[in-house]
Amino acid sequence: MAPPFDLVCLSHLRWDFVYQRPQHLLTRAARDRRVFFVEEPILDTATPRLELSPREGALTIVVPHLPEGLSASTSEAMQALLLDQLFTEQRIAHFALWYYTPMALGFTSHLEPCAVAYDCMDELSQFRFAPPILREREEALLKRADVVFTGGHSLYEAKRDRHPNIHAFPSSVDTAHFARARAITDEPADQAGIPGPRLGFFGVIDERMDLALIDSVAALRPDWQIVMVGPVAKISDDDLPRRANIHYLGGKQYAELPAYLSGWDVAIMPFALNEATRFISPTKTPEYLAAGRPVVSTSIRDVVHPYQDLGLVRIADTPDDFVAAVEKALTQHGPDMVRRGDRLLSRMSWDRTWDAMHQLLISAATRPAIPAVLADAATAAGGM
């Protein structure tokens, strides 16, 4: 049997920022093959260099370091040279490319992988500070990719006519990890002194948050405590609503999250309804349910379907409606809802998700190459 191909991942996310979809999938990939997770460059040195950090299994985090003040074209040229250096030093010969950002095409188009996968987590072009060229790069990546995955059903519906081999893989869950919250009694020190009832959120606090909604709910119910766990990104601390009953506890390690969840009376997802959230599929939805917490969210499409449809999440968008939904969650959440959530979660796991994606990647890597002219015709026709 031929040795497994290496997997080289190109990401716009830092591995150590928050633990989410890429980390869940690629730690599993690294159990039976080498995985190189290539981050965006850090601008801090006059001499271009690579920083390699070995992690669990056969995973290596690769961080390019570049000088400041480079043009976009020069930066990409330097990243291409550093990537070639990585391939030479690590003897990477038989490999697949796994993209999280289409922008990485600017320094990887010269490579000759056995397969190209695009795991499209979000509609990145709608995020704050997205490069204007991102849409063009995504079109090019969709033409090059052998297989495309989407992070949710709404994103799949938006892109399914743009590639002949596209598959929806919504956010999954490590149920056992978050179910620990049901038995934890010792709370983290920075949360233990906050009185109840507590409404809690964990995740990145950025332009996707409905800060006005958070502020209004806190004002309407000053006896409720809103606990926000996670790093602040792409917005200023000055933008955050400040009230005595809103508590920002900062970023936490993935291992710590069940302990915080254990002390929440209601888990919330106060997302804004804007272009940046139009196609999101929050990983925290099944994670909250695994902890046995009642959940209240704004009407994010991939939360409404299937979670509200199954009666597992309450949906509200205005401050008054959100308060009413939380009141119901505080008084009406019971064992039956937890059992129904558990039944759904029993069919979900990151292991299953990775196994299915892995098989599609292997199929892409082993099938005969299609001549470029035929491949373009297949894409235009929506498949072969």
pLDDT of amino acid 17: 92
Q: Indicate whether 165 and 210 sit together in one domain.
A: no
Residues 6 or more apart from 311 whose CB is under 8 A from it? 337, 340
Q: Indicate whether 55 and 190 sit together in one domain.
A: no
- In which element (H, E) is residue 368 found? none
Instruction: Say if residue 142's pLDDT is above 90.
Output: yes
Handedness of CA 31, 36, 37, 43 (dihedral sign): positive
The radius of gyration computed from the CA coordinates of the chain, to the nearest angstrom, equals: 22
- CATH number of the domain that residue 166 is part of: 3.40.50.2000
Q: Indicate whether 187 and 324 sit together in one domain.
A: yes
Q: Name the average pLDDT for the chain.
A: 92
Q: For residue 1, is it within any domain?
A: no
Q: Indicate whether 328 and 355 sit together in one domain.
A: no
- Tell me the one-letter amino acid at 296: V
Q: Give the C-alpha distances (Å, rounded to integers) separating 13 from 18, 261, 289.
A: 9, 25, 26
Exposure class string for 65-99: b at 16+ Cβ within 10 A, else e: bbeeebeeeebbebbbebbeebbeebebeebbbbb
Q: For residue 110, is it within any domain?
A: yes
Number of domains in the chain: 2
Q: For residue 108, is it within any domain?
A: yes
For the entire predicted model, the pTM comes to 0.90
Two structure tokens written together for 369: 């190459």
Residue 132's pLDDT band, with cuts at 50, 70 and 90, is: confident
Q: Residue with structure tokens 């059992």?
A: 339
Q: Indicate whether 162 and 243 sit together in one domain.
A: no
Q: Indicate whether 15 and 145 sit together in one domain.
A: yes
Q: For residue 19, is it within any domain?
A: yes
pLDDT of amino acid 383: 36
pLDDT (tens digit per residue) in 258-308: 999 999 999 999 999 998 898 999 999 999 999 999 999 999 999 999 999
Q: For residue 231, is it within any domain?
A: yes
Q: Indicate whether 122 and 66 sit together in one domain.
A: yes
Two structure tokens written together for 370: 């299609």
Q: Print the domain residue range for 324.
A: 175-345
Q: Indicate whether 126 and 219 sit together in one domain.
A: no
Q: Indicate whether 139 and 222 sit together in one domain.
A: no
Instruction: Say if residue 381's pLDDT is above 80.
Output: no
pLDDT (tens digit per residue) in 162-182: 999 999 999 899 999 999 999
Instruction: Say if residue 64's pLDDT is above 80.
Output: yes
Q: Indicate whether 307 and 226 sit together in one domain.
A: yes
